[in-house]
Structure 1
Amino acid sequence: MSPPPSTSVGLETVVVVASASNGAVSSALRSAQPIDALAWIAIVAFGLALLVRWSDVAAPARPIAGVAWLLFGTYWLTMVPYYYYDAQSPLQTVLALVALPLCAYTGYLLWNGRESLFVLTKAVALMGLIYLPAETIPIVRQWLIETTAVQTHYGMELLGHSPGINEGMNGYESRFNFDSEETATGRTTYIVLACTGLGSMAIFGGLIAAVSAPLRRKLTAFALAIGVIWLLNLVRNVFIGLATPHGWFQQDLVVSLVTTYMGAEEARVSYLVAHNYISQLLAVVALIGVTYLVVKILPEVLEPLEEVLFVLTGTEYDLETALGADVRTDGGSRDT
């Protein structure tokens, strides 16, 4: 028996995932088009700046890129209310808030001549080209969501749980059909695009595609990153998908803290703890680990990462030396 609509909870994130109640999902769907349009405008502006620079017209390229970064930061600012009120995710709220000043500063540095930031600009543009089509093309989005739901359900079956899958609030066969009368919280979860891991895959895909390196090493790094992210993402989905209905974190102290300081419904506590705290924090650790593995194969990605650190700290870094990379970022070995 399916639980009433008010007991359904989605799995969603940015970078990785963010939760939404049914009302939040409806609101997000109503506002998706203008938000998507702003993201597309930013990506197109990035592409225009890169095209102008490729045409050896450096001066106009910098201000165009600067405006693109400002638009990109504004896009993330528009997501703050959703992350704070609906998703109730402190981490994503903070990241969305700081995105605008950081993007604006990046644009300012570019506008004033820091040409090395064009590699990072190219990486972000490519990330958008990987992610946005999947978000805006229904048939691609449906395939990704339903495939992830099937794979997550298989993971649950390996642990002895077989709830079945039915239609979620997004209209796709993506909801885990736990019986609300037989679970601790009466709630369940359903897969959305963010649960596919596509956001994290797009980050590494953009970084890897943006740098200059031999194709074989780029393909090897890409395959490794995608494989690890896919596996860890399924583990995360299974963890959240089981913790939510079975109330793994419904202990009195945890419930008191989350309901008092996050204003959450008591029945949602296990979901919020599993999703917004444990999974999101572990996702940060996982991304650092994947980055290290990619760097060992493709140290060229250190160049855009050094630019990120410069924007954050104002200090120049030599990550190649600090990490002891075996291959120089120009493609040669340390012995040549």
Structure 2
Amino acid sequence: MPTVFSATDAASVGGLETTLTGASTLTPVSMPAVLGSVGATDLLAWVSIGAFLTALLLRWRGVAEPARYLGTGAWLSFGVFWATMAPYYYYDVQSPLQTILALIALPLCAYTGYLLWNGRDSLFLLTKAIALMGVIYLPAETIPVVRQWLIETTATQTHYGMELLGHSPGIEEGSNGYQSRFAFDSDETVTGRTTYIILACTGLGSMAIFGGLIAAVKAPLRRKVAAFAMAVGVIWFLNLLRNVFIGLASPWGWFQQDWLVSFMTTYMGAEADRVSYLVAHNYISQALSVVALVGITYLLIKILPEILKPLEEVLFVVTGTEYDLFDALGKSEVRADGGAEHDRRAEQ
């Protein structure tokens, strides 16, 4: 699943926004339309997560049918939320990967709701994971002091990483109002552009994904804490490398080769001096992020094989086929008390 975020970020999701030095915004395409839909988009996210949580509460209280129906509605609204973000990803962020994910999210979420409606109660575990992802992410996004701390701390750490590579531009206030913009001199850089950190650059979205999965399953607290610490540590380190990479590639034009600039401007609608940023962020970094997510998942399974349960549900939704990942990976299902589960299908 893609991560939840607010359209209020006048920036690219999942990374650093690039700006002309002294400019307050970057994207000339469809930004008024995006900003005009901010309220509805945020509302959809909150309504979806709230409905997920309420459905889980109803099921916990033994009210099975209303919980199933409300859960179905929550999945539908969650899919609509991602569909509304597709134009933003396509026009403003210019990210093919995120556009595709946003478009396919609606039918996948609708199908998940359909399966839940028709009695596949095992999907409540995946519902719980998604709800907890939102609980982790949305408050951090909407509480100003938390948001500012995350962004400015990430900016400081990224700047330190740049200094280790011999670059020390300094940090100044970005167009988001935080001390998050790397103050490269436009007269000295290749593209005249620089970047600033937004919330999506903090790695919080990926942390929320794994945090939700870990929190949703039943397992000993010791192993859940160890799994979460490992995931957060790896994500933080890889995210720092990514931020430094994009933050230097954009101003210094690492990908401003003539043939690439010609291709991106002609066929992808990119601005010529923004090509390095788009290649570094939307193509290289996002592709490597997918690889990283798979790798982190593999490491988590070693510590917390219980997360295979919601992953099985994801595979069923995507393929329509039942998978036994425990058997496929040679894992024994583990009870919350640490013992082996003989009948892995007994608890749904």
TM-score of the pair, normalised by structure 1: 0.93
Distance 1:110 1:142 in 2: 38
Q: 1:58 to 1:79 in 2, by over 3 A?
A: same
Deviations 1:304-326 (A, max 9, x none): 0000000000000111121223x
Partner of 1:88: 94
Cα 1:262–1:18 change in 2 (3 A) is farther
Kept after mapping to 2: 8 A contact 1:221/1:294: yes
How far the C-alpha of 1:333 sits from its partner, in A, is 4.1
The structure with more helix, counted as a fraction of residues:
1
SS in 2 for 1:79: helix
Q: Which residue of 2 aligns with 1:150?
A: 156
Q: Deviation at 1:23?
A: 5.4
Distance 1:12 1:130 in 2: 21
1:187 is matched with 193
Describe the superposition over 1:242-274 as per-residue Cα deviations: whole angstroms up to 9, x where unpaired: 000000000111111111111110000000000
Of the structure 1 ranges 188-197 and 34-43, higher mean CA displacement relative to structure 2 is found in: 34-43
How far, CA to CA, are the matches of 1:252 and 1:209 in structure 2? 48
The equivalent residue for 2:339 is 332
Q: Which runs of 5+ in 1 are unaligned?
A: 1-8
CA shift, 1:11, in A, is 6.0
Aligned partners of 1:65 and 1:107 also within 8 Å:
yes
* Equivalent position to 1:111, from 110, 117, 123: 117
- Partners of 1:136 and 1:182 in 2: how far apart? 37
The separation in 1 between residues aligned to 2:26 and 2:191, in whole angstroms, is: 19
- Equivalent residue, structure 1, for 2:78: 72
Count of matched residue positions in the alignment of Structure 1 and Structure 2: 325
Alignment partner for residue 276 of structure 1, among 257, 278, 282? 282
Q: 1:297 and 1:226, CA in 2 relative to 1: closer, same or farther beyond 3 A? A: same
1:51 is aligned to 57
Distance 2:301 2:11 in 1: 30
- TM-aligned CA deviation for residue 34 of structure 1: 2.5
Q: Distance in 1 between matches of 2:64 and 2:342?
A: 35
Summarize the Cα distance change of 1:133–1:160 in structure 2 as closer, same or farther, 3 Å threshold.
Answer: same
Distance 1:244 1:18 in 2: 10
The match for 1:102 among 86, 102, 108 is 108
1:178 matched to 2:184? yes
Partner Cα separation in structure 2 for residue 132 and residue 277 of structure 1: 26
Alignment pair present for 1:210 and 2:244: no
Matches of 1:123 and 1:51, distance apart in 2: 14
The farther-off stretch of 185-194 and 252-261 is 252-261
1:241 aligns to 2:271 (yes or no): no
Residue 185 of structure 1: SS of its match in structure 2?
A: coil
Q: Aligned residue for 1:33? A: 39
For residue 212 of structure 1, give the secondary structure of its aligned residue in structure 2.
Answer: coil
TM-score by length of 2: 0.90
Which whole-Å CA distance do the structure 2 matches of 1:18 and 1:44 have between them? 29
Q: CA deviation digits over 1:183-234, x for unaligned, max 9?
A: 0000000000000000000000000000000000000000000000000000
Pick closer, same or farther for the CA change 1:55–1:335 going to 2, 3 Å: closer
